[in-house]
Structure 1
Amino acid sequence: MKKHPIIWTNVILFSLTFLVAAIAVPYYALTVGFTAAEIIATILCMGYCGISITAGYHRLWAHKTYDAHPVLQWIFAIGGAFALQNSAIHWSSDHRVHHRHVDNNEKDPYSAGRGFWYSHIGWMLRDYQGESYFDYSNVRDLQKNPILAFQHKHYLVLVLLTNIGIPLLLGLLVGNIWGMLLSVGVLRLVLSHHFTFFINSLAHIWGKQTYTDENSARDNGFLAFLTYGEGYHNYHHIFEYDYRNGIRWWQFDPTKWLIKTCSYLKLTGNLRTVPEDRIAQAVAKMQLKRAKDKARHLPNAEQLLALLEQEYQLLVAKIQDYYQLKKELLQQKRNALVDQYHASEFMQRYQELKLHLQQQQNHWQRLTAAFS
C-alpha cells in the first residue's frame, strides 16, 4: 500500500506537547504544585479556546448558523489561533468537505470509517489529502470576510502571540512563569486539542442515533460536556444549519446558550433553527426503521410491517397538522390579526390537536417499544 508522507511538523508538535502534559505537568504538580490562579487560568483559557472553535469556527463560519458582530468575530478569530487548530478558513474548508462526504473513506478528510486513530489524530500526521488540503474553493464566502482573511494571513504570528504570549503574561502577573507555561501553555493546549478531536472520532462511534443512521454520527451527553455542546453529533449531522446542537432545555450546550445570550446584546442575529415538525418526523422515522427491522424476523411479519407503516403515517399527519396550526397561531398573535372570540376558538382547536398528537405519540411509543 502507498504510504503517504509524514507531516513532521504535526508529529513533533502533537508528540512533544503530549509528552510534556503527560510527564512534566504531573511532575511539577507533585514537586512544586499549581496554585489556584494557575488552575483557574487554565480552565478559563481552555474554555475560551473551546468556545472559539465551537461557536466561531464551527457554528458561525463552517455552517453559517447565525450572524455575529465584528467584535465577536475578532474574539473568536484570536481564540481560534490560541486553540491552534489551523485558520478558520482552513478549518471550515475541511469541515464542509467532511459533511459533504461523511464516512466516505476516500473523500472525508477524517472519516470514522478508517478507525478511531485515523479520525482522531492520524489524518493530521500524514499528507493524505495532498494538494486538496489547500483547496479553499468551498469557502470563498469566508475568504471575503476581512477578519478571517487577516487571521489566515497572519495565523502563525497570532499562534505565537497567544500560545506563548498569554501564558508568559499570566506568569508575570502571578509571579510564576513556569507554572503558567506548563498549565496554560501546554496542558490547556493538549486537552483542548483532544477534546475537539473526540468529535471526529468518539462522536462517530459512541452514542445514540436518534435522528438518522445514514451516517455514523452519534449523540453523546458526556462528550457534550467535554466539547461545550458539540457531543449531540447525530442531530448536528442531519440538521447542520441549526445553531443549536442540544435542542432540549436539559441538554448541556453552552455554545448555544452563549449564542442566544449574545443575541439579546445585539452581538448575534439571524439564529437559524430547524422546524419542530421536521425534528419530530426524523425521530419517528428512526423509530419506524428500528421497529421494522425487528418485525421482519417475526412470524406475522407482513401484517406487523403494514400496521407499523399505517401508524407511522397517522403520526406524521398529526405532527404536520399540529405544527402547521401552531405556526399559524404564532403568526396571528405576532400580527395581532385575531379578535378575542376567534382567538379563543383558535386556541381550542390548537389544544385539541395537541392532545390528539400526544395521544398518538404515546400510542406510537408503546407500539415501537414492543419491538425494542
Structure 2
Amino acid sequence: MNKPKIIWLNVIIFLITFLIAAVAVPYRAFTHGFDTAEIVMAVICFIYCGMSITAGYHRLWSHKTYQAHWSLRFIFALGGAFALQNSALHWSSDHRIHHKHVDNNDKDPYSAKKGFWYSHIGWMLREYQASRYSNYDNVRDLQKDKIVMWQHKHYLLLTIAMNFGVPIAFGLINGDLISAILLIGFLRLVLSHHTTFFINSLAHIWGKQTYTDKNTARDNGILAFFTFGEGYHNFHHIFENDYRNGIRWWQFDPTKWLIKGCEYLNLTTKLRISPEDKIEKAKLSMTLKRTQLRIAQHPNAEAMLDKLEQEYDLVVSKLNAFYDAKKQLIATKKAELLSDVENSELNKQYVELKARFNEQKKRFTLMTAKLA
C-alpha cells in the first residue's frame, strides 16, 4: 500500500525548531550565555504551555473532569496556542478517539502498537486520517464553549502572536532579542512538544500497569515529573474522568494541585474523582493476575492458585463491607441523623471493618510477595 501524503508544513516546523534548539541554543549559550531573567522566563513559559495542555486541553476539555471559570479557560486557550499543538477543539477530538479506540491501529490516531516513532511524532507527519480535520462530531459539547470556538477560529493568528510576540516582547524589554527568541521561542517550544508527545509514546511503553493491562498505558513517576503529572497514565486510561492522575499525596501531579488550588479561588468547580473502592479493586485485581501468571508453571500451581484466589475473595469481600459502611457513615453525617456520630455504633462498625480490611489486605499483599 502507498503511504499517505507527507504533511510538509509539520515536517518543516518540527525539523527546523528541533535543529535550532539542538544546535543554535547550545552555541549561543557557549559563545554568549543566557542571563537569569531569560532562563526564568523560559521556564515560566514552558510551565505555562505544559499546564495549558494538561489542565486545559486534557483534563478540562477532553475529559470534562471539572468545570472552569471563563477567565481560566481563556488563559488555557492562549497557552494552548503558545504550545503549538493544534486547537483545543481538534486536540480534544483526537484524544477522545484515542481513548475510545486505544491501541487500535486503524482508529487510534497515535496507537502505541505502531511503534515509538509513530506514536511520538510520526502520526503527525503524514495524512494518516485526514478526515479527523473535518469531523468534530465527538466534541459537540465543546462547540458550545465560546472560548474553545474563538480559539479554533483564530488559532493561526493566536499561535503567531504567542510564539513570536512573547519572545520578541521579552527580548526587547530585557535587551537581548536573539537570546530571547532562541530560549523562550525555540527551545521552550521543542521541550513543550516532546514532553507532551512522550505521553503518547513513552507512557505506553515504560512503566507499570498498576490498574489494568487491557491497554498499553503505563504508570511512570519519572515521566510524571517531566509532564506535569501526566505520567500516571495507566490510572488515567481506566479512570479517565478523574481530575487527578497521581492520586496519592506523594505522587507528583502539579496539574492536580493547580486544579484543586483554583477551586479555593472559585475558578474551578465540580471536580470529579473516581470511587475509592473501584480504584482499590482494580489494583487488587492486577496484583492477583500478575501473581497467577508467575506461579502458573509451578509444580504445585493448582493448590497455590486455589489459596491465592481464596485470599483474594476474602480481601474483596472485606473491601466491599468496609466501603459500604464508609458510604453509610458519610451519608449519615451529611443528613445529620445522629447527634454524636463519632461515638455511634455505626462509627464503631466502620472502624472495625476498616481494620479487618487492612489486615486482610496486608495478608494478601504478603502472600503475593512470597509467591513472587
Q: TM-score, normalised by structure 2?
A: 0.98
Shift of 1:133: 3.8
Question: Could you give the per-residue CA deviations for residues 325-369 of structure 1, whole angstroms, max 9, x where no partner exists?
Answer: 112212222222112278432221111111101110010001111
Question: Could you give the per-residue CA deviations for residues 248-299 of structure 1, whole angstroms, max 9, x where no partner exists?
Answer: 0000000000000101111000000001000100010001111111222112
CA contact (8 A) 1:103 1:112 kept: yes
**Is 2:110 the partner of 1:110?**
yes
Q: Distance in 1 between matches of 2:91 and 2:103?
A: 18
Partner of 2:160: 160
Q: Distance in 1 between matches of 2:114 and 2:140?
A: 29
Code of the aligned partner of 1:355: A
CA contact (8 A) 1:281 1:316 kept: yes
Partner of 2:33: 33
Partner of 1:5: 5
Superposed CA RMSD in Å reads: 1.1
Q: Distance in 1 between matches of 2:102 and 2:119?
A: 11
Q: Distance in 2 between matches of 1:22 and 1:292?
A: 47
Partner of 2:18: 18
Partner of 1:353: 353
CA contact (8 A) 2:94 2:132 kept: no
Deviates more, 1:311-320 or 1:111-120: 311-320
Shift of 1:143: 1.0
**Is 2:305 the partner of 1:305?**
yes
Q: Distance in 1 between matches of 2:218 and 2:342?
A: 45
Question: Could you give the per-residue CA deviations for residues 76-104 of structure 1, whole angstroms, max 9, x where no partner exists?
Answer: 00100000000000000000000011111
Does the C-alpha gap of structure 1 residues 111 and 341 become closer, same or farther in structure 2, counting only changes over 3 Å?
Answer: closer
Matches within 5 A, 1:179-328: 179-328=179-328
Q: Distance in 1 between matches of 2:3 and 2:342?
A: 72
Q: Distance in 1 between matches of 2:371 and 2:198?
A: 32
Gaps of 5+ in 1: none
CA contact (8 A) 1:82 1:159 kept: yes
SS of the counterpart of 1:350? helix
| Identical-residue share of aligned pairs (%) | 61
Shift of 1:241: 0.3
CA contact (8 A) 2:333 2:341 kept: no
Partner of 1:77: 77
Shift of 1:323: 1.2
Q: Distance in 1 between matches of 2:181 and 2:127?
A: 30
Does the C-alpha gap of structure 1 residues 67 and 341 become closer, same or farther in structure 2, counting only changes over 3 Å?
Answer: closer
SS of the counterpart of 1:190? helix
CA contact (8 A) 1:221 1:231 kept: yes
CA contact (8 A) 1:90 1:134 kept: no
Partner of 2:62: 62
Q: Distance in 1 between matches of 2:341 and 2:18?
A: 68
Q: Distance in 2 between matches of 1:369 and 1:104?
A: 34
Code of the aligned partner of 1:211: Y
Code of the aligned partner of 1:120: H
**Is 2:53 the partner of 1:53?**
yes
SS of the counterpart of 1:123? helix
Code of the aligned partner of 1:157: L
Q: Distance in 1 between matches of 2:27 and 2:298?
A: 60
SS of the counterpart of 1:274? coil
Q: Distance in 2 between matches of 1:62 and 1:100?
A: 12
Code of the aligned partner of 2:164: I
Question: Could you give the per-residue CA deviations for residues 204-224 of structure 1, whole angstroms, max 9, x where no partner exists?
Answer: 000011100110000001110
Q: Distance in 1 between matches of 2:243 and 2:48?
A: 19
Q: Distance in 1 between matches of 2:341 and 2:121?
A: 63
Shift of 1:315: 0.9
Question: Could you give the per-residue CA deviations for residues 126-150 of structure 1, whole angstroms, max 9, x where no partner exists?
Answer: 1111223432111111111111000
Q: Distance in 1 between matches of 2:130 and 2:110?
A: 14
Partner of 1:371: 371
Partner of 1:331: 331
CA contact (8 A) 2:244 2:256 kept: yes
Code of the aligned partner of 2:160: L
Q: Distance in 1 between matches of 2:71 and 2:264?
A: 15
Matches within 5 A, 1:166-177: 166-177=166-177
Q: Distance in 2 between matches of 1:42 and 1:342?
A: 52
CA contact (8 A) 2:341 2:347 kept: no
Q: TM-score, normalised by structure 1?
A: 0.98
Partner of 2:143: 143
**Is 2:120 the partner of 1:120?**
yes
SS of the counterpart of 1:6? coil
CA contact (8 A) 2:143 2:149 kept: yes
